[in-house]
Amino acid sequence: MLSSPLEARLATHLDLTFSERETLRALERRERSFKAGEVVVREGERLDSLYIVASGWLHGSTEMKGGDRQILRFYFVGDVTTTFSIAWGYSAATLQAVSHTTLFQMPKEAFGHLFRKHPRLGALMFAIASSEQVAMADRLTSISKTDGFTRIATLLLDIRSRLRVVDNLEGCSFELPLTQKDLGDAVGLTKTHVNRSLKALEATGLVSRVGRVIRISDINKLAALVDFNDRHSQIDVDWLPPVGAEPA
């Protein structure tokens, strides 16, 4: 049997038991599809479910005064979305499909059951969520302290790093289904500034574009140039509860 998206995501960090795999697959029963640009849930709406990404890209954003938006983060295969709203009964951000997307809708109660039945899985998901929060903090620091060149480079490196984990990306090329407005809304730049920054990156010879495909020719060199930290590839699992600690 093929792995489920969430199972495959967690299995990159941990050797999962049969029971853990079965529990994760049981969460992926209610499938929903969304077209590119379609909103899954709007900021402020009632929210009783989380969503597991089976295919496609999404982003979560908040609306700012004047009609602008701030994209907080992007979601890829195997990600659990709308966790930013789990503390409340409403969505703290708007979740929107970037490309044609398939999601598994998961009631919050089922997510809670996962933590009770398999605390090791819950602890791992907490660790992954923590790493993603730090990565988002890195990007926000980049927005406030650096120029457009560094902001765009940091975002591209972060996306590539996450795709390596969630979508088994190999090599240094990946498809980027984001508009220049999407990129700008993620790093606080206008479309004009995004275009100028992309051209500056290409001028270094480290980044090239062919249509929607981005190629980073020397990842280590670009990461050193913009002081990028890969927060996604390694997760410390030594502290997780042992399998024997899970209730029957």
The pLDDT score that the predictor gives to residue 247 is 52
Query: Measured between alpha carbons, how far is 235 from 195 in angstroms, rounded to an integer?
Result: 34
Nearest to 78 by CA among 170, 171, 11, 173: 11
Nearest to 47 by CA among 114, 92, 111: 92
Q: Where are the alpha helices (DSSP H) in the chain?
A: 5-11, 18-26, 108-117, 119-145, 148-166, 180-187, 191-203, 219-226
The pLDDT score that the predictor gives to residue 140 is 82
Query: Measured between alpha carbons, how far is 38 from 101 in angstroms, rounded to an integer?
Result: 9
DSSP output for 96-130: EESSSEEEEEEEHHHHHHHHHH-HHHHHHHHHHHH
Helix (H, G, I), strand (E, B), or coil: what is residue 54? strand
Q: Which residues pair with 210 in a beta bridge?
A: 213
Whether the predicted pLDDT of 136 surpasses 90: no
Query: Measured between alpha carbons, how far is 69 from 85 in angstroms, rounded to an integer?
Result: 18
The pLDDT score that the predictor gives to residue 216 is 94
The pLDDT score that the predictor gives to residue 234 is 87
**Could you report the per-residue pLDDT of 41-92, keeping only the tens digit for each?**
999 999 999 999 999 999 999 998 888 899 999 999 999 998 878 888 899 9
CATH 1.10.10.10 in the chain, residue ranges: 133-226
**Could you report the per-residue pLDDT of 146-180, keeping only the tens digit for each?**
999 999 999 999 999 999 887 666 668 999 999 99
The pLDDT score that the predictor gives to residue 102 is 96
Whether the predicted pLDDT of 244 surpasses 80: no
The pLDDT score that the predictor gives to residue 196 is 97
Average pLDDT, the chain: 91
The pLDDT score that the predictor gives to residue 82 is 83
CA dihedral 135, 102, 215, 203 (to 10 degrees): -70
Query: Measured between alpha carbons, how far is 68 from 28 in angstroms, rounded to an integer?
Result: 34
The pLDDT score that the predictor gives to residue 166 is 74
The pLDDT score that the predictor gives to residue 124 is 95
Query: Measured between alpha carbons, how far is 153 from 216 in angstroms, rounded to an integer?
Result: 10
Give me the residue label for tokens 């996450």.
162
CATH 2.60.120.10 in the chain, residue ranges: 5-117
pTM: 0.91
- Kindly report the CATH number that applies to the domain delimited by 5-117: 2.60.120.10
220 near 90, Cβ under 8 Å? no
Whether the predicted pLDDT of 1 surpasses 60: no
The CATH fold assigned to 133-226 is Arc Repressor Mutant, subunit A (1.10.10)
Radius of gyration for the chain, computed over Cα atoms and rounded to the nearest angstrom: 18
> Most confidently modeled of 60-69, 109-118, 179-188?
179-188
Whether the predicted pLDDT of 27 surpasses 70: yes
